Structure 1
Amino acid sequence: MGDCRPLGFLLGLPFALIALVLSVVGAVIWVLGTILSCLCPCCICCAGLANFAVSLIKLPIKVLRWFTNQIPC
């Protein structure tokens, strides 16, 4: 019965690789947003930008979990 879960992992792997590239972009945005918020703490948009970047960093894990959960067992 547990054989179908790795299938979801394999199907989601190409999308997770694309999400991994987006997470690298998110990491760069997060570093820039952190530096900008340290230089100018009055900029509230930098905090929102940093939160968006953190969600991009978590994207590959979310994609793999979603694909794995879509396979019924």
Structure 2
Amino acid sequence: MGDCRPLGFLLGLPFALIALVLSVLGAVIWVFGTVLSCLCPCCICFSGLANLAVSLIKLPVKIITWFIDQIPC
């Protein structure tokens, strides 16, 4: 992201805001999955749920960088 591409940023902003809502949901799922995996370590599915939630948390940044990369100079 060395060069400035404001058009890609502006086009990706509405999608990133939607992804921001999903990342808040992902944070709640991550906390829930972490607590459940600590209570019952035999259930491996809770750690997979926590990993999915972490990817949801990273989603807004991925969307913005994808849109910025798609717009040529």
Q: TM-score, normalised by structure 1?
A: 0.94
Alpha-carbon distance in 1 for matches of 2:13, 2:36: 34
Shift of 1:53: 0.1
**Number of residue pairs matched?**
71
Q: Aligned residue for 1:67? A: 67
CA deviation map 1:22-60 (0-9, x unaligned)? 000000000000000000000100010000000000000
Q: TM-score, normalised by structure 2?
A: 0.94
Identity %: 80
Greater fraction helix: 1
Letter paired with 2:56: L
Report runs of 4+ in structure 1 exceeding 3 Å deviation: none
Gaps of 5+ in 2: none
